[in-house]
């Protein structure tokens, strides 16, 4: 649809106009593009390099199959998962314990095979060329991605997991792409290939009734009865997505299918549109009474059925008067007992932050799906995006969960990996259609950032991108930069210092939650180096039913302390830069260019994580973790393929093999293998090296000694299944992950906390020269970090309101403080939520209550920043009161 035509048909939600618009004769294609858009798409391919590459990529993918089909039309069809055997062409399947049990009936043609089981496993399909043709018993060839041995194995039907659905979806996707190619080129070889696949699926589905579940293992009886989670062709309605590919293929092939009906239609006295209507309406009718009313289940359910709605004819075509305009309001306005319509489910997005209340992977997926549906509806004359500005805020909110590389932070049920840049492409499309040049430019900035960082390529666009994506308007490629982001619902905060892959610093700190695909992970932390999360939460389980899911989806897959707190509310004791959740997701001010910290309590635990930059290219993290338990295990996973432990004076520590960790604090400890142990009470350093990248990437962890300590090193399960979450794919399945537990026995870790310093660096770039304890008591700790050429910092933390003097010329009263010297002179004083910090003749003191403030020397001049009025002393001068402000020169 060109710009003028689109603007002419936008309906801004008026229900009467909406209905009048839809009762007109249905035109095909209608789902993503109309015939009036074809020339613009052809021009795009001709004039835009990315579009030309995307089109060539699509043709390179489908042409070998399409060309083979001209002389061997059975090849592709034979690889579909069907009930092929005459006498076993089932028309009714039965479910037991959420898996396929048996089938009955015999259709006149093969019917589409139901997946063998709801759960999935580590088996994936072999390449299409190697799959079994006409597999009558449903056996499939698979590769087990959990092992290094990639030799194909034969898997029985009832053990194939999601392979059946994946196989049919892959073949239907080829039909979908070929149908688009036919529409664009009118070359009938594409139509023949696509229609042969589509007819096999369409008629094979037409003869199949929805499965029955007599024992209601899916929370409903199945068939056409309401309730439960089961779909028409999957055990979960959110996975009932055959129709998504089939509806697009049908839409583009509509005229060809009517002109070339399948010979079986004459035997049953039906035409193409009638049979298609029966099949798509079954998916819709079942989809509207199954699945879930809340969360991602609701939106994923609509993602599957809205395309089926949009390719239907108008009401008058059907005997029951239920066509396109009958069904669409169930998405746009009518909430039922089974599904929330858009006006209701949009309320799930937080008005302040714009975030969806589930883990980042699900949240990003939700906004992408809503925009997908929104553009499909816009194509059909309904603007659901402009009526809901919160959708636009939600799309941008996901940027706050990205690291410098453009990957989503990993917590809760998610895999990580790059942001879905297609969301911003869809927003660019919408704004271009609406003529909103300013917002279109903002979207172009994000897209260019993704391209620049290597996380995204427009040339990899699918056929929908070819239809929808617009030329990029002039823009930069630097994303807005926020130092801190905090979502109370997710109990999750992010802090950054710099936003470049090479030199940016970043950490996350969060509490455990249940529901919304969040997990009971304890008070957990992750930190970054060279653009990578170096201790990410483990997320390498195949499915929620996998035996190792209990490890990955619980506290044992995170970096925290056991036993004790796993889930519950958290309290932000102090945070700088601070975020006001009542105003939004991000900080609105900052105190120091060098220092950031968060001090968080949860139940009996309290954790302070600080990020200290020592130059444009160097910095480190401090972790002070208290736990009010007599016995504690400090659990830390770190990426690496080489590990080294040294004690005082850099003497290597020899850890001896042990059979187990006694007195497990969690049953998932059983997944730790190759355990080694040493009793050691003094300061020590653990180094992890990633040799799979060049130069090698290192992480050093120094930890202050405490009494009654045991150090364990072990191999934990893999960190990830993805190829883009860890540098050099280190610790990807089936590799293990080097992991450490520091056990503290009969020594309360509230009074004697775990104190650690982490530094990440490439070979040859280590900056920290020395770390040592300066002072400590039950409520106070002070360490000194000396960086070669970058000065030294005295780092202080207290959990009471007393005045501490860790050295003759230093005083501190507050939560967090840093006194930094360089070349023998004061570099800065930083006071994080405190009342006083002094070094020699320099001091900052609050006027009333606690303050976050900094006094720094820069080019021979003194500057201060403070969020409230402060008293400052310099040299022999008296204390002088200064108002709140940022980076103000001290006169």
* DSSP characters over 535-561: SPPPB--SSTTSTTHHHHTBGGGSSEE
Q: Which of 441, 516, 759 is nearest to 614 (CA)?
A: 759
Q: Is the peptide bond before 529 cis (omega within 30 degrees of 0)?
A: no
Distance CA 203, CA 111 (A): 7
Tokens at 862, concatenated: 């003194």
Distance CA 140, CA 132 (A): 7
Judge contact between 829 and 854, C-beta under 8 A: yes
Q: Which of 213, 759, 259 is nearest to 529 (CA)?
A: 759
List the Cα angle 298/299/302 in 5-degree steps.
Answer: 95
Beta-sheet strand order (sheet of 532-533): 484-487, 492-497, 505-510, 524-529, 532-533
Which residues does 282 contact at the CB level (< 8 Å), separation at least 6? 205, 210, 232
Tokens at 655, concatenated: 């850890």
Q: Is the dihedral of CA 154, 157, 159, 165 positive or negative?
A: positive
Distance CA 68, CA 432 (A): 40
Q: Which of 511, 447, 508 is nearest to 473 (CA)?
A: 447
Q: Which of 416, 278, 424, 429 is nearest to 360 (CA)?
A: 416
Q: Which of 310, 373, 301, 370 is nearest to 338 (CA)?
A: 301
Judge contact between 168 and 245, C-beta under 8 A: no
Low-confidence ranges of the chain (pLDDT < 50): 1-24
Q: What does the DSSP assignment read for 245-293?
A: HHHHHHHHHHHHHHHS--HHHHHHT--HHHHHHHHHHHHHHHHTTSS-S
Tokens at 61, concatenated: 């993918």
3-state secondary structure of 33: coil
Which residues does 31 contact at the CB level (< 8 Å), separation at least 6? 247, 248, 251, 307, 310, 311, 376, 379
pLDDT at 468: 96
CA dihedral (136, 138, 141, 143) in degrees, to 10, reads 170
Q: Which of 657, 714, 709 is nearest to 682 (CA)?
A: 709
Q: Is the peptide bond before 695 cis (omega within 30 degrees of 0)?
A: yes
pLDDT at 25: 67
pTM of the model: 0.88
Distance CA 116, CA 867 (A): 61
Q: What are phi and psi of 219, to 5 degrees?
A: 70, 20
pLDDT at 550: 92
Distance CA 514, CA 494 (A): 20
Distance CA 875, CA 567 (A): 49
- Distance between the two ends of the chain, CA-based, in angstroms? 64
**HEC letters along 573-588:** EEEECCECCCCCCEEC
Judge contact between 624 and 574, C-beta under 8 A: no
CA 395, chain centre distance (Å): 13
Judge contact between 408 and 361, C-beta under 8 A: yes
Distance CA 437, CA 772 (A): 56
CA 865, chain centre distance (Å): 36
- Per DSSP (E only), the strands in 53-139 are 82-83, 92-96, 99-104, 111-112, 123-125
Q: Which residues of 392-402 are buried (b: 16+ CB within 10 A; e: fewer)?
A: bbbbbbbbbbb
pLDDT at 545: 80
For 54, 312, 634, the CA distances from 464, given in Å and listed in that order, are: 11, 20, 49
Distance CA 591, CA 818 (A): 13
**Residue 454 burial (CB count, 10 A):** 12
Tokens at 34, concatenated: 């109309």
Q: Which of 301, 299, 434, 312 is nearest to 364 (CA)?
A: 299
List the Cα angle 458/424/437 in 5-degree steps.
Answer: 100
Judge contact between 171 and 76, C-beta under 8 A: yes
pLDDT at 71: 97
3-state secondary structure of 218: coil
Tokens at 86, concatenated: 């005459």
Distance CA 694, CA 379 (A): 48
pLDDT at 542: 85
Distance CA 222, CA 231 (A): 8
Counts of helices then strands in the chain (DSSP H, E): 20, 38
DSSP state of 757: E
DSSP state of 520: B
Helices (H), 795-841: none
Which residues does 352 contact at the CB level (< 8 Å), separation at least 6? 581, 582, 583, 584, 585
Q: Which residues of 312-324 are buried (b: 16+ CB within 10 A; e: fewer)?
A: bbbbebbeeebbb
Q: Which of 77, 28, 341, 78 is nearest to 192 (CA)?
A: 77
Judge contact between 676 and 714, C-beta under 8 A: yes
Q: What are phi and psi of 585, to 5 degrees?
A: -90, -25
Distance CA 718, CA 740 (A): 14
pLDDT at 774: 96
Judge contact between 678 and 656, C-beta under 8 A: yes
Beta-sheet strand order (sheet of 673-679): 560-562, 632-637, 737-744, 709-716, 673-679, 656-657
Q: Which of 756, 746, 740 is nearest to 676 (CA)?
A: 740
3-state secondary structure of 377: helix
Q: What are phi and psi of 46, to 5 degrees?
A: -75, -35
Helix (H) or strand (E) holding 726, with range, is: none
């Amino acid at each position: 649809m060109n710009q003028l035509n689109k603007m002419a048909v936008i309906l801004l939600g008026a229900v009467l106009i909406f209905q009048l618009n839809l009762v007109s004769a249905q035109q095909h294609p209608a789902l993503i593009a109309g015939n009036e858009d074809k020339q613009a798409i052809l021009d795009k391919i001709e004039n835009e390099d990315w579009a030309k590459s995307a089109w060539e990529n699509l043709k390179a993918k489908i042409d070998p199959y399409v060309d083979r089909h001209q002389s061997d039309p059975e090849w592709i069809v034979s690889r579909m998962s069907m009930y092929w055997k005459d006498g076993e062409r089932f028309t009714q399947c039965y479910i037991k314990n959420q898996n396929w049990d048996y089938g009955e009936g015999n259709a006149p043609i093969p019917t589409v095979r139901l997946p063998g089981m709801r759960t999935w496993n580590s088996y994936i399909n072999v390449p299409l060329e190697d799959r079994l043709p006409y597999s009558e018993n449903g056996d499939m060839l698979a590769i087990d991605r959990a092992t290094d041995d990639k030799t194909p194995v034969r898997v029985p039907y009832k053990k194939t997991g999601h392979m059946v659905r994946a196989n049919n979806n892959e073949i239907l996707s080829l039909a979908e792409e070929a149908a688009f190619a036919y529409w664009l080129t009118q070359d009938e070889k594409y139509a023949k290939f696509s229609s042969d696949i589509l007819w096999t699926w369409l008629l094979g589905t037409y003869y199949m009734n929805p499965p029955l579940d007599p024992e209601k293992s899916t929370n409903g009886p199945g068939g056409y009865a309401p309730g439960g989670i089961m779909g028409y062709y999957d055990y979960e309605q959110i996975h009932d997505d055959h129709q998504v590919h089939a509806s697009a293929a049908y839409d583009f092939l509509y005229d060809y299918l009517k002109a070339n009906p399948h010979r079986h239609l004459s035997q049953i006295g039906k035409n193409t549109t009638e049979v298609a209507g029966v099949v798509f309406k079954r998916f819709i009718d079942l989809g509207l009474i199954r699945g879930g009313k809340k969360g991602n289940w609701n939106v994923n359910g609509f993602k599957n059925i809205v395309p089926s709605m949009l390719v239907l004819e108008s009401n008058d075509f059907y005997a029951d008067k239920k066509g396109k305009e009958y069904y669409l309001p169930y998405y746009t306005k009518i909430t039922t007992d089974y599904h929330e319509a858009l006006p209701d489910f949009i309320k799930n997005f937080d008005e302040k932050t714009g975030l969806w209340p589930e883990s980042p992977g699900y949240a990003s997926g939700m906004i992408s799906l809503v925009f997908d549906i929104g553009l499909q509806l816009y194509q059909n004359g309904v603007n659901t995006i402009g009526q809901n500005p919160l959708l636009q805020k939600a799309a941008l909110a996901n940027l706050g969960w990205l690291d410098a590389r453009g990957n989503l932070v990993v917590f809760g049920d998610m895999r990580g990996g790059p942001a879905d840049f297609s969301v911003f492409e869809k927003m660019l499309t919408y704004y271009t259609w609406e003529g909103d040049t300013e917002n279109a430019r903002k979207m172009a900035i994000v897209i260019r950032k993704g391209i620049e960082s290597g996380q995204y390529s427009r040339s990899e666009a699918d056929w929908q991108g070819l239809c929808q994506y617009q030329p990029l308007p002039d823009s930069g490629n630097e994303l807005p930069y926020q130092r801190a982001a905090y979502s109370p619902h997710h109990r999750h905060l992010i802090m950054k210092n710099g936003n470049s892959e090479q030199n940016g610093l970043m950490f996350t700190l969060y509490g455990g939650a249940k529901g919304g695909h969040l997990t009971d992970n304890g008070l957990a932390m992750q930190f970054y180096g060279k653009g990578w999360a170096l201790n990410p939460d483990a997320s390498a389980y195949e499915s929620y039913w996998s035996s190792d899911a209990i490890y990955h989806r619980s506290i044992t897959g995170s970096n925290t302390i056991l036993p004790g707190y796993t889930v519950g509310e958290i309290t932000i004791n102090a945070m700088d830069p601070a975020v006001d959740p009542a105003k939004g997701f991000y900080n609105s001010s900052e105190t120091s260019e060098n220092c950031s910290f968060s001090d968080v309590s949860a139940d009996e635990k309290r954790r302070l994580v600080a990020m200290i930059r020592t130059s444009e290219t160097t910095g480190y993290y401090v972790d002070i973790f208290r736990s009010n338990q007599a016995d504690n295990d400090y659990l830390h996973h770190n990426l690496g393929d080489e590990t080294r432990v040294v004690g005082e004076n850099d003497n290597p520590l020899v850890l001896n093999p042990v059979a187990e960790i006694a007195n497990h604090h969690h049953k998932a400890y059983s997944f730790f293998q190759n355990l080694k142990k040493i009793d050691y009470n003094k300061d020590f350093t653990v180094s992890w090296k990633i040799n799979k990248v060049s130069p090698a990437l290192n992480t050093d962890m120094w930890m202050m000694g405490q009494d009654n300590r045991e150090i364990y090193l072990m191999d934990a399960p893999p960190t990830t299944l993805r190829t883009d979450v860890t540098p050099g794919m280190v610790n990807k399945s089936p590799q293990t992950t080097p992991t450490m537990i520091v056990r503290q026995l009969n020594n309360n870790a509230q009074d004697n906390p775990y104190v650690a310093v982490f530094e990440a660096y490439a070979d040859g770039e280590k900056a920290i020269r020395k770390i040592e304890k300066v002072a400590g008591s039950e409520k106070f700790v002070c360490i000194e970090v000396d960086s070669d050429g970058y000065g030294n910092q005295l780092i202080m933390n207290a959990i009471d309101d007393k005045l501490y003097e860790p050295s003759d010329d230093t005083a501190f009263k507050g939560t967090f403080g840093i006194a930094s010297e360089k070349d023998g002179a004061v570099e800065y004083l930083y006071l994080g939520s405190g009342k006083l910090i002094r070094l020699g003749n320099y001091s900052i003191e609050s006027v009333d209550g606690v303050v976050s403030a900094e006094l720094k020397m820069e080019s021979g001049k003194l500057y201060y920043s403070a969020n409230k009025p402060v008293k400052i002393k310099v040299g022999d001068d008296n204390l002088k009161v200064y108002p709140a402000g940022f980076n103000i020169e001290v006169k």
